[in-house]
Structure 1
Amino acid sequence: MTTRAADVVIVGSGPTGSTYARIIRRDWPEARILMVEAGPKTTPEIGKHLDNLPDADRTEAQLRAQGPKRGVTYAPITREEWEARKAGKHDASLQRRPGLFFANTDTPDETAFAGFAAASVGGMGVQWTSGCPHPSKSERVPFIDEAEMEAALQLADELLGSNKNPFPGCKGSEEMRRRLGEVFNPGRPDDRKVQPMPLAYTVTEEGVITHGTDHILGEMVNEPEEMFRILPETACRRVLHENGTATGVELVSMTSGESWQVRAGTVVVAADSLHGPQLLYGSGIRPEALGRTINDHYLINRFFITDIEGPLTSMSWIPRVDNEDFPFSVTIHGNDPAKFPFPEQVEGTLVGMGLFVAADPRPENRIIFDDETLDWKGLPSFSIHAPINEVDEKRIEMGKAVAEKIATTLGRPLDGFATVRIPTGNSLHYQGTMRMGEADDGTSVCDRHSRVWGFENLHVAGNGIIPTVTATNPTPFIVALASMGARKIAEARRTVTEAAA
């Protein structure tokens, strides 16, 4: 059956697209919702997280999620690359990530902004690391009421299934947080003190269940197709629009090449921070700020040895605070040296650290579209121009110093391993490309309800709409913002009939 009309068409099946579907269904039970996904369904259950699969099945699912690189097994890390990473130099293997593909046309080298993406039902929501921290006050949207934002974040926790302390009673991790608290807690508000990292986990006697987009969609996955349908391996080539109204979408089957149009009352573009702007651009919707202010959290890694007895099951988190003294979000967790790609001599309890550094959003850092060269979906290909500036460099060096301080607070740095900045793009937190604004003044793409300026029924979603300087994992933040946009769509109840299609 070819769907020709829907009240709401959602392009993208990741966490924000799934949130739009779930909240619209909650507030508008009669809505007919069509979700479009360029990649295949890779798991037996819709939106199941790949970490819940047996190893062989997970590998197969990752290979199928690689878009234009579908089925390609990337070359494993070499000893030379591993030694370069240990020395704090460029490790090219970090630009070959199973389950993802390099979406931009830039040569993957030391200077590149790596624009990774996934293409499968569930998107990054079936591969994410499940961290659910809340943004600090300054990271939140300043023109959204504080109480409204807090309520939306609580809803995001419910949708994601956030567990504030998934491993209570982990004595080693509690001791780690006690020591870190002595150094970093003074002067911090209670909600920004050292704490367990909230994770989208259900812990059972058999092990951990990591939540994917199945947790967001809930019972919607069992609805009849005339009410909710996901079209896998179907790309959206164009958002159709006329006189400031989105009228539908033009779709193409990635298997047969057949194309058709679907009329829609509302269109939601939830196709990630790179492909969302790409679709708008390819549709002739080109606000001045589209694709600009792209930024990603710079990621600093450090391994160290602690005298704290394991197991260190619980992940610890040092949150970002609202001043320039600590523009970082830090995760710390026990590590298994057996998972290193090559044998290393490790004596003691190994700990890994990921320190996320806030980047400086600048309009000149942007996606550059190429109308002459099309990508695997038939849309304009793109490159990314986002060099590091002096503000970034200063924060990165501060971050490295903080990483060393944390390592010496808890133990000693692992011999033979430097404090290293991972290649730009590896945090997968690309932001700013469809940024939200308070006024239609050319510096933003959408309003506080995520509606594209000049449209009443075209919404955008994902990390790209974040307009602030952040260091915190953005997933709960963008799910919260998506829930606000979804409520607006449900209030409007714009329908389209099959006859009109």
Structure 2
Amino acid sequence: MKSADVVIVGTGPTGSAYARVIRTEWPEARILMVEAGPQILPKTGGHLDNVADLDERGSLEVLAQGGDRTPRMPINKEEWEARRAGGFDGSLLRRSGLFIANDGDPQDENLFAGFSAANVGGMGTKWSTGTPVPSEIELVPFISASEMQAALTTSAKLLGVNTDPNAGDPAAIALRERLGAVFNAGRTPDRFVQPMPLAATPGPDGLHYHGTDVVLGDLVDEPAERFSIMKETACRRVIHDGRTVTGVELASTGSSDTFVVNAGTVVVACDALHSPQLLHASGIRPEALGRNLNDHYIVSQISEMDTDVPMKAMSWIPATRDFPYSVTIAPASLHSMPRSGDIVGQPIGMGFFVSSDISPDNRVTFDDTRTDWLGLPAISIKWRQSEGDKARLEEAKDHALAISNIIGRPAAGFATFVQPVGSSLHFQGTIRMGEADDGTSVCDKTSKVWGFDNLYVAGNGVIPTATATNPTLFSVALASIGARAIAGARRTAA
């Protein structure tokens, strides 16, 4: 396409949601998606966890991890023993796609690990598929409850959410009953201990995980003049006059030759690090751009549970106003570790999600003198842990041990430990929405960039609140609001 009604930069869950909702609300729209990485699976946007062969899956993950496609070394014995003792495990900083984006010492509490996914489907090819509903304290305060509920319902349909994907698991049901006896009092039923909702479909061979293939649906079968994905193409700049966007400047990845695609509307849906990077490179630099970088912590605990029937299902303790933590409990696989420990019962892993304080000083910065593999200003991250963060983490460790004893007991030789900041890959706040154009936000509640008529942003980065819950359902819901705004405005204008 040399021109499109809508250009979406990024093919992850939120970019794909924009495409799907715009098509539904504005059937005649010509939509172009731009992706810096390759298509790694035959099915557009399919999920990597559906690839059964682990060696093949590992090779595909390397192709999906952005500019650095160096294979990651597995955990070694020393790192595993450090993790068991509750100390620093350097292998957590060698996960596919992670990169260190500041100068902190590897064991520094202020180290922040960044992430780059570059392939058709973005993080939709790699995400956990966890789709828990955010709590009332995490929701955007200036979006009405009815509008947010409708958007969350739309999001669940787009992602194909299953609220009980491993229904009938007797061990999981028994565990939820024990946990519920402790946590359900004073909660509304929607916040009771429950199965973890997943974007997945049960089948005879286990769960089939949903990527952006499910979100896009039959869009990928449309004629190229109506819908297309331009892969292995970097967006170097959004072209604009300071108020109106007219197109995007693109280049084949690794090439210095650029070309322009004219656009009626542009949606920047890279991720919470690379969306502000592209806006910065385009000369769109509101005061809040890249600031308020936020990510929840993960406190990890390995437990062992005595059960006659092995547990398969995941369980979830939702966050509430009185319990501002989100807890995921699932079977733990220790087969790839150098030493599994002296575990008698079934190993159970717990991810105890802890929110972090929002500060405008925690931010992404860009170096105009150095470029990355996309030809854009190199990213650095400034991050400092707050005293409030430290206090919540200590409280969370106590909670994790208490829950471990409800599950069964803490596994022998496995200490409670805190994963490095950024490990959740749920970065937020860097293109945050706000109620007013007062310098503290980048976009309005429809995700339209302040001061622009036809420029929108998408992804976890628009979330303005402190959260402790997997954010994909939330960010796709916000994307659906923005997509409807685009379709409504453009239909009216036409």
Fold shared, TM-score > 0.5 on shorter chain: yes
Which residue identity is paired with 1:14?
G
Q: Report if aligned partners of 1:67, 1:101 keep a CA contact under 8 Å in 2.
A: no
Distance between the aligned counterparts of 1:14 and 1:348, measured in 2?
39
Any idea what the Cα deviations from partners look like across 1:44-82, whole Å, max 9, x if unmatched?
Answer: 110010011132331221111122212x21222111111
Instruction: Give percent identity, aligned residues only.
Output: 56
SS at match of 2:273: helix
User: Equivalent residue for 1:66?
Assistant: 65
Deviation at 1:462?
0.6
The aligned runs of 1:101-116 (5 Å cut-off) are: 101-102=98-99, 104=101, 106=103, 109-111=106-108, 112-116=111-115
Query: 1:103–1:117: 8 Å Cα contact kept in structure 2?
Result: no
Matches within 5 A, 1:71-110: 72-98=70-96, 100-102=97-99, 104=101, 106=103, 109-110=106-107
Counterparts of 1:364 and 1:92 in 2: how far apart (Å)?
A: 26
Q: Report the 3-state secondary structure (helix = DSSP H, G, I; strand = E; otherwise coil) of the residue aligned with 2:20.
A: helix
How far does residue 338 in structure 1 lie from its aligned partner after superposition?
2.3
- List per-residue Cα deviations over 1:419-439 (Å, max 9, x = no partner): 000011001110110111000
Q: CA shift at 1:11, angstroms?
A: 0.3
Give the superposition deviation at 1:103: 6.5
Q: Is the 8 A contact 1:407 1:413 kept in 2?
A: yes
Q: Per-residue displacement from partner, 1:233-283 (whole Å, max 9, x unpaired)?
A: 101010111030111110010155431011100000000000000000111
Q: Could you state the TM-score of these two structures normalised by the residue count of structure 1?
A: 0.95
Counterpart CA distance in 2 for 1:7 and 1:270 is 16
The reply to whether residue 458 of structure 1 matches residue 455 of structure 2 is yes
Per the alignment, residue 372 of structure 1 pairs with 369
Tell me the SS of whatever aligns to 2:158.
helix
d(CA) in 1 for partners of 2:106, 2:334: 27
Q: CA deviation at 1:125?
A: 0.5
Aligned to 1:157: 156
**2:367 touches 2:379 (CA, 8 Å); kept in 1?**
yes
- Map of 1:251 onto structure 2: 250
In 2, are the aligned partners of 1:436 and 1:447 still within 8 Å (CA)?
yes
Which stretch shows the higher mean deviation, 350-359 or 332-341?
Answer: 332-341
1:196 equivalent in structure 2: 195
1:17-28 residue pairs with structure 2 within 5 A?
A: 17-28=15-26
Structure 1: gaps (5+ residues): none
- 2: CA distance between counterparts of 1:495 and 1:74? 50
RMSD of aligned alpha carbons: 1.6
Q: Please give the alpha-carbon distance, in whole angstroms, between the structure 2 residues aligned to 1:110 and 1:38.
A: 32
Q: Are 1:400 and 2:397 an aligned pair?
A: yes
Q: Does structure 2 retain, via aligned residues, the 8 Å contact 1:200–1:210?
A: yes
Q: How many Å apart are 1:413 and its aligned residue?
A: 0.6
Name the CA distance, whole Å, in 2 between partners of 1:17 and 1:346.
43
Superposition pairs of residues 380-419 of structure 1, within 5 angstroms:
380-419=377-416
**Which residue in the other structure is 1:442 paired with?**
439
CA contact (8 A) 1:108 1:114 kept: no
Name the aligned partner's letter for residue 88 of structure 1.
Answer: G
**Alignment partner of 2:113: what SS?**
coil
Contact 1:436/1:448 (<8 A) preserved: yes
Q: 3-state SS of the aligned residue for 1:272?
A: coil
| Map of 2:324 onto structure 1 | 327
- Alignment partner of 1:426 out of 423, 428, 431: 423
1:187 corresponds to which residue? 186
Structure 1 residue 303: deviation in Å? 0.4
Residue of structure 2 in register with 1:174 after alignment: 173
Q: Secondary structure at the match of 2:277?
A: helix
Change (3 A) 1:110 1:495: farther
Distance in 2, matches of 1:310 and 1:259, equals: 59
Query: 1:47, 1:243 → 2: CA distance?
Result: 34
1:134 maps to 2:108:
no
The amino acid of 2:87's aligned partner reads: K
**Aligned pairs (5 A) from 1:111-126:** 111=108, 112-126=111-125
Partner of 2:245, secondary structure, is strand
1:345 to 301, 319, 342: 342
Alignment check: 8 A CA contact 1:163 1:199 kept = yes
Measured at CA, do residues 269 and 495 of structure 1 come closer, stay the same or move farther in structure 2, by a change above 3 Å? farther
Relative to 1, partners in 2 of residues 1:470 and 1:160: Cα closer, same or farther, differing over 3 Å? same
Match in the other structure for 2:471: 474
Give CA-to-partner distance per residue, 1:181-213, whole Å, 9 cap, x none: 111111111111100000011001232110000
Pairing 1:267-278 to 2, within 5 Å after superposition? 267-278=266-277
Cα separation, 2, equivalents of 1:154 and 1:187: 25
Determine the structure 2 residue equivalent to 1:5.
3
Matched position secondary structure for 1:337: coil
Would the alpha carbon gap of residues 496 and 255 (structure 1) be closer, same or farther in structure 2, given more than 3 Å must change? Answer: farther
* Mapped partners of 1:342, 1:117: distance in 2: 30
TM-score in terms of structure 2 length: 0.97
- Residue 118 of structure 1 aligns with an amino acid whose one-letter code is A
1:135 Cα shift? 0.6
Distance (Å, rounded) in 2 between the aligned partners of 1:496 and 1:265:
11
What is the Cα deviation at residue 341 of structure 1? 3.9
Q: Partners in 2 of 1:455 and 1:439 — Cα distance?
A: 14
Give the 3 Å change call, closer, same or farther, for CA 106–117 of structure 1 in structure 2: farther
Unaligned runs of 5+ in 2: none
What's the CA shift for 1:387?
1.0
- The superposition leaves residues 295-348 of structure 1 with CA deviations (integer Å, 9 ceiling, x where unpaired) of 11100100011223332111000000023xx22100001223324343433211
Residues 272 and 462 in structure 1, CA contact (< 8 A), matched pair in contact too = yes
Letter in 2 for 1:392: D
Find the counterpart in structure 2 of residue 236 from structure 1: 235
CA distance in 2 between counterparts of 1:57 and 1:235 reads: 26
- The answer for the alignment partner of 2:260 in structure 1 is 261
Q: Is the Cα–Cα contact under 8 Å of residues 342 and 412 in structure 2 kept in the other structure? A: no
- Separation in 2, partners of 1:481, 1:337: 37
SS state at 1:312 partner: coil
Q: Deviation string for 1:77-98 (max 9, x for gaps)?
A: 1111111111111111101112
